[in-house]
Amino acid sequence: MKKVLIIGSGGREYSIGFFMKNEAEIFYAPGNGATSEFATNIDIKDFEELALWAKENNINLTIVGPEAPLVEGITDVFKKHNLIIFGPTKNAARLEGSKVYMKNFLKKHNIPSAKYIETNKKEKAYEFIEKMDKLPIVIKADGLCAGKGVIIAESKEEAKKTADEMLSGKAFGEAGKKIIVEEFLDGYELSMFAICDGKDFVLLPAAQDHKRLLDGDKGPNTGGMGAYAPTPLATPEIYEKVKEKIIKPTLKGMQEEGSAYEGVLFIGLMIVDNEPYVLEYNVRFGDPECEELMPLIESSVYDMFYYGAKGELEKIDVKIKDMVAVGVVCASKNYPYSSSKPAEIKIDDLNSCNGYIAYAGVKNIDGKLMASGGRILVCVGYGKDVKEARDEAYKIVDKVHFDGMQFRKDIAYQAIK
Ligand code: AMP
Ligand code: GLY
């Protein structure tokens, strides 16, 4: 049997392994308390050591889940050891690691995005802010800030103050010492995911996620409280435009930069007057979007990643099921503010439900599955349309019990009016 190593420990990584476990023997570094039910968890953190382990254990394919190891260069290390790994190199991962790099790349290659300036000087930021004729104004820190580095300022004063706080290092340290100031795009957001092999790509169904903690998109931002795919908001025309105006020039541009892009390209889009604009790139799957996308893949999940990593996507035909998946995140009591006491998870019989559970912040303690993180698990329901899939997802939520469990009750509301 083929052997696959998955890097990461969240619901995203769980779902990748879960939908591949009939095709390959799965290993996780580090995995979680539920991945150990169908795979082997490995406790090696150092990239060199992990690559040597992968060689000794004849791993056929390594898949990287989170952005941090990619930005730190895990792909480069594995490639140096002639291992097959799915994920961009350190240089290519700058598309997510540096907003300044990304915006300059978009401009250079004529890829639609909000008008902006990049600067490390307060005076230049002020001058641009003064000249902007519309509010709000968007200020972004250059580096990775755990999803908090984007501020939408409602007035010019607030925009200046925000720019100041970032540039002085007060807000985000080094990550904010260069900033982007850009115009606000008023439309609706979509997430698209392309499996890329450096030159070719496969575009997966578009998703919408729910970043805020509370119903009605209120409360603080989180890693994501739920998502669904495909979303009817992405029309065939939008898919076409995204392929032609965004993905093709991105892959060509990255080749020209000498950093051919291999891995998942996660495109955060704003659709304004039926035209897609790039808000951001991520160099990995979204979490919880991945948990809804994996069950939609009808053809071999292993092949999709393997041929992606080999630069041979043209050899396969990725087939997508005619189905919708809706995922509802169940989080611990104090998420996203602080951690909660580990709580035992009890799951009732799921036989009557159409879907699955992707486990994230869980530990196995003395044979018991314990909630031990922020986002604990994702209940994913399937259906012929969004409503049916949403109802199945909430049927699964009803079967999940742990102390302090919180979840949103309105996932996919944008598609059910
Ligand atoms: P980013 O990390 O760049 O995707 O920004 C995080 C969130 O801020 C996005 O998902 C949008 O909701 C919002 N955002 C970022 N840039 C803009 C913009 N230029 N116009 C409107 N909203 C934006
Ligand atoms: N769910 C959004 C993200 O993973 O960034």
Neighbours of 414 (CB within 10 A): 17
Contacts of 9 (CB under 8 A, 6+ apart): 28, 30, 31, 32, 35, 360
Q: Cα separation of 288 and 271, whole Å?
A: 21
Q: For position 417, what pLDDT does the model report?
A: 76
Task: Give yes or no for residue 13 CB within 6 A of ligand 2.
Answer: no
- Tell which atom from ligand 1 comes closest to the C-alpha of 185: 20
Residue 88, exposed/middle/buried by CB under 10 A (0-12, 13-18, 19+)? buried
The residues facing 347 across adjacent strands are 400
CA nearest to 59, candidates 78, 36, 74: 78
Cα-to-centroid distance, 76 and ligand 1 (Å): 30
For domain 121-177, give the fold: Dna Ligase; domain 1 (3.30.1490)
Residue nearest to atom 3 of ligand 2 (CA): 286
Q: For position 390, what pLDDT does the model report?
A: 98
DSSP label at 376?
Answer: E
Domain spans in the chain, listed from the N-terminal domain onward: 2-87, 121-177, 188-416
Q: For position 126, what pLDDT does the model report?
A: 97
Q: Render pLDDT for 94-112 as a digit per residue (tens, 0 to 9).
A: 999 899 999 999 999 999 9
Q: Cα separation of 67 and 147, whole Å?
A: 12
Three-class DSSP category at 355 = strand
Q: For position 394, what pLDDT does the model report?
A: 98
Nearest ligand by distance to the CA of 180: 1
Q: Cα separation of 331 and 402, whole Å?
A: 10
Nearest ligand by distance to the CA of 139: 1
Q: Cα separation of 234 and 214, whole Å?
A: 24
Probe target for ligand 2 pocket from 96, 264, 266, 378, with the most ligand atoms within 8 Å of CB: 266
Low-confidence ranges of the chain (pLDDT < 50): none
Cα-to-centroid distance, 309 and ligand 1 (Å): 30
Q: For position 7, what pLDDT does the model report?
A: 98
The kind and range of the H/E element at 119 are strand 116-119
Decide if domain 188-416 falls under CATH 3.10.290.10.
no
Q: For position 247, what pLDDT does the model report?
A: 98
CA nearest to 339, candidates 308, 373, 364, 310: 373
Q: For position 221, what pLDDT does the model report?
A: 85
CA nearest to 358, candidates 401, 383, 327, 390: 327
Nearest ligand by distance to the CA of 136: 1
Are 17 and 38 in contact by the 8 Å Cβ rule? The answer is yes
- Tell which atom from ligand 2 comes closest to the C-alpha of 147: 5
Query: Domain 2-87 maps to which CATH number in 3.40.190.10, 3.30.470.20, 3.30.470.160, 3.40.50.20?
Result: 3.40.50.20
Let me know if the fold of 2-87 is the same as that of 188-416. no
Task: Give yes or no for residue 291 CB within 6 A of ligand 2.
Answer: no
